[in-house]
Chains A and B, each alone.
Chain A
């Protein structure tokens, strides 16, 4: 008896001693915060967070691999306590939610008849699933069974629908889905996601330079949910009023209905919901992530700058915009005339963006009113350049310095800024792009009798938007094609009296695929004009360089643009990013908006100390192979809604907006023309 008691004591003592020494010898320092965090977790070891038990989750939270709200069982109180333990920088308690990206469901076609076990994981093991679509939902509901919160069900169309109220963002559905249909993301992650090869994207959404989820917002309009449509557009494009008016809608060229019928009037629908919000008198609230305290300087308040600032603000950073002109808007304000984009519409839109808490400084020019060194010294963590392309090219012909010679952007900016410009009676505008057309139409509205558009190729080669060319034809602008300006003719008073040009003929196609114009010998002709506007393209004005700071290290391309990594918008100076015309050369407004968001993603990576790398599998406005069709079945032709516009007589002597918004009835009809396409499936008419 005594021996057994003694032995048991001895055994305990030996084991205890060995373990005590071992604890001392083999002690590994652990962050004391881990224990504190673990105490605040549920302690159920349920694995809902995606880690092996609560201690692993606590370690991940302290290692900042998981957010403070990783645990799906604890309430907001514990989450905020964890956030306090972790300090403010890790305390972004932005909620995660599950999103379904596939609209296919039962309308999607099958490759083979499957008669096996009714689970998604089972059917995936047979050649990746029965669907024709390589990423599409299989519809057996593995996600529904995985969800512990009853937040998912397979809807009548055969794909999972998420109940946002019940979803806690635990990630169980994402883990259970073999196809990555369901994604559990924070709003910030969604805002910064760039289109990727394995996304569920319709051809229009692949084409849109701003990557707007077009079928989704048209779907909202179809259901009458105009606010939801606006929110969907705002996830990608903060300037929907402006884009709804001026975007040349490259998306519509790839509209699947357009293959057999006229394309859906996507941009008219965007304009309809954008105007709906403005005319409703109240602004739809815009969701922003908790503050991070990081500051970003945005140089240039044009579309790229506004877009970048908007997305940075929405993910919690603090952008400040520095603008050289008296008001924000860049080319939207100073390049696009009033009759296409009224200033009060633009003001309303920009106010909405600034209301998120973005500071702006206008009338300050980098290199003149403030310098780069002091900007960095005042505590900005990153700098975004979106200075645009404001430097007009010159023709390089004699007489260009005579009175009455202007350049395109310079002229439009003066008009946009209500400056006094002496305008002639007979004007020649040189160039075939949108700037040239804008100059022509503005001149008409300023009471000019005769406006010539002088272009060295033919109408077919004109880079301007087709609708703009048609509108200017209606308004009576005279086109002088195949004419290359040779010299500006002037009188003794240094005043322009004519434009001498050479007639051209089209020769062999050049690098751009357009036929190269060749001059005809001895065909000099003089056009009798008293004012000439040159609008043959622009390049960025980078006069702020050469002051002996980091900006001098930036690599500049031979087109005088910033050299950036196309997928990240980062320059060779790590904390400087650039997008918009100053990085791409003159391009569309919507390109600049897309660039601003891409840069915001990179700046966010940079500010959180992660490597600034391209998103894996990013699409960069290329098309997903196999999603662009030659022909489409099941289309019943339905007439496209015409854009209402002011009659010519009512518009050419004033600056009233020419293009009008479609009615609600038309918007509902037009949204119903949308096939709600995804990669390969769509809702056929018949």
Chain B
């Protein structure tokens, strides 16, 4: 598989939110406003690239080497959590502007299953290091894209006539389902 196909696959065909259904919690939680959606998208891109590459390195050079692949989940959890903490501290000191921009979303990502999912997928699909790097980046881009699209829709849904039982989260889930169906049109392209 070439890199172009990999990119298309990560953003559209296997979109982490709409095709893999990972990270639905922040998807619903941070998509009420475009501003927060963009913030969350940026934070995910930042963290996912780092987490995807580091977990790949740890897996390949430590877990496989010592025959400890069964410790993958627990190792990845610890690594992602430490990484997010580390990044938070680093940004606070070195790039306060970015830290203020990402704000509350950075620590939220510690518990984002999309990050964990991408790290695991990288391993399951037996990507090379470069492929893992590209995949992590564009899965995150796909996440951001879906989030921003969805936030745009939800801002308009607010102004639409929605029957009372379906308002807010209900209509959001239905809409998410329909976008997801639309994304299924990409299936089989790559």
Residue of B nearest to A24 (CB): B89
* Segment among B65-73, B110-118, B127-135, B175-183 that sits at the interface with chain A: B65-73
* Complex contact B159–A117 (CB within 8 A): yes
- CB pair A11–B92 under 8 Å, yes or no, is no
Q: What is the CB-to-nearest-CB distance from B78 to chain A, in angstroms, rounded to a whole number?
A: 6
Confirm or deny: A15 has a beta carbon within 8 angstroms of a beta carbon on chain B: yes
CB contact under 8 A between A117 and B92, given known A3-B68, A7-B66, A15-B78: no
B-chain residues with CB within 8 Å of residue A122 when the two chains form the complex = 158-160
> Per-residue CB proximity of A3-17 to B under 8 Å, as 1/0?
110011001100100
Q: Check B71–A22 contact: CB distance below 8 A.
A: no
**Which one of B63, B93, B104, B159 has the greatest number of beta carbons of chain A within 10 Å?**
B159
Residues of B in contact (CB 8 Å), total 26
CB pair A22–B159 under 8 Å, yes or no, is no
The 0/1 profile, CB within 8 Å of B marked 1, for residues 108-128 of chain A is 000000001101011001000
Supposing A15-B82, A18-B86, A26-B93 touch, asked if A117 and B70 sit within 8 A by C-beta, the answer is no
CA separation between A453 and B158, bound complex, in Å?
Answer: 71
B78 x A11 contact (CB < 8 A): yes
Q: Which of A3, A4, A22, A56 contacts B89 (CB 8 A)?
A: A22
Chain B residue nearest in CB terms to A45: B104
Q: Does B74 make an interface contact (CB < 8 A)?
A: yes
Cα separation A116 to B67 with both chains bound (whole Å) = 63
Docked Cα-Cα span, A122 to B167, in Å, equals 14
Are A116's CB and B161's CB within 8 A?
yes
Contact flag A4-B71 (CB < 8 Å), given A19-B85, A26-B89: yes
Let me know if A52 and B71 touch, CB within 8 A: no
A53, CB-defined interface residue at 8 Å: yes
A8 near B74: Cβ-Cβ < 8 Å: yes
B152 at interface, CB cutoff 8 A = no
Interface residues of A in 1-47 (CB under 8 A from B): 3-4, 7-8, 11-12, 15, 18-19, 22-23, 25-28
User: Please, what's the 1-or-0 string for B162-177, where 1 marks a CB less than 8 Å from any CB in chain A?
Assistant: 1000000000000000
Contact (Cβ within 8 A) A125 B159: yes
CA distance in complex: A26, B86 (Å): 9
Question: What distance in Å separates the Cβ of B121 from its nearest Cβ neighbour in chain A?
Answer: 21
A52-B78 in contact given A26-B89, A125-B159 (Cβ < 8 Å)? no
- Scoring B residues 73 to 89 as 1 if CB is less than 8 Å from chain A, else 0, what string do you get? 01100110010011001
Interface size class of A (residues with CB under 8 A): 20 to 34
- Distance from A438 Cβ to chain B, minimum over Cβ atoms (Å): 63
CA–CA, A26 and B82, complex, Å: 15
Q: How far apart sit A485 and B86, CA to CA, in the bound complex (Å)?
A: 90
Contacts of A119 in B (CB 8 A): 158
The residue of chain B having its C-beta at the shortest distance from the C-beta of A23 within the complex is B89
Asked if B3 CB lies within 8 Å of chain A CBs, one says no
From known contacts A28-B92, A117-B159, infer whether A4 and B68 are also in contact, taking CB-CB under 8 Å: yes
Among A118-140, those with CB < 8 Å from B are: 119, 121-122, 125
Chain B hits for A53, CB < 8 A: 104
Partner of B162, one of A15, A26, A56, A117: A117
Is the CB–CB distance between B103 and A52 below 8 Å?
yes
Tell me which residues across on chain A come within 8 A of B160, comparing CB atoms.
116-117, 122
A-side contacts of B74, CB under 8 Å = 8
Assess A121 versus B159: contact at CB under 8 Å? Given A15-B82, A19-B85: yes
Cβ-based interface call for B21 (8 A):
no
Chain B residues with CB below 8 A from A125, complex form: 159
Q: Is the CB of A26 within 8 A of B94?
A: yes
Contact B82 A18 (CB under 8 A): yes
Partner of A7, one of B68, B79, B162: B68
Separation of A511 and B162 alpha carbons in the complex (Å): 64
Q: How far is the CA of A52 from the CA of B107 in the complex (A)?
A: 13
Residues on A with C-beta less than 8 A from B89 are 19, 22-23, 26
- Tell me whether A26 and B85 are in contact (CB under 8 A): no
What A residues does B71 contact at CB under 8 A? 4, 7-8
Per-residue interface assignment for chain A, residues 79 to 122, with 1 indicating a CB less than 8 Å from any chain B CB and 0 otherwise:
00000000000000000000000000000000000001101011
8 Å CB contact of B66 from A3, A25, A26, A117: A3
A52 to B86, CA, bound (A): 21
Chain A residues with CB below 8 A from B86, complex form: 18-19, 22
Query: Given A8-B74, A117-B161 in contact, is the A26-B104 Cβ separation under 8 Å?
Result: no
Most chain A beta-carbon contacts within 10 A, residue among B62, B86, B94, B160: B86
The smallest C-beta distance from A483 to any residue of chain B, in angstroms, reads 72
In the complex formed, the residue of A with least CB distance to B167 is: A117
Q: Closest CB of chain B to A114's CB: distance in Å? A: 11
Q: What are 14 A-B contacts defined by CB distance under 8 Å?
A: A7-B68, A11-B78, A15-B79, A18-B82, A19-B82, A19-B86, A23-B89, A25-B93, A26-B89, A28-B92, A117-B158, A117-B160, A122-B158, A122-B159
**B→A interface (CB under 8 Å):** 62-63, 66-68, 70-71, 74-75, 78-79, 82, 85-86, 89-90, 92-94, 103-104, 158-162
Partner-B contacts on A (CB < 8 A): 3-4, 7-8, 11-12, 15, 18-19, 22-23, 25-28, 52-53, 56, 116-117, 119, 121-122, 125
Q: Which 9 residue pairs are nearest across A and B when measured between Cβ atoms?
A: A26-B93, A15-B82, A26-B89, A122-B159, A117-B161, A22-B89, A52-B104, A22-B86, A125-B159
Besides the contacts A23-B89, A122-B159, what 15 more A-B pairs have beta carbons closer than 8 Å?
A4-B71, A7-B68, A11-B79, A12-B78, A18-B82, A18-B86, A19-B82, A19-B86, A25-B93, A26-B90, A28-B93, A53-B104, A56-B104, A116-B159, A116-B161
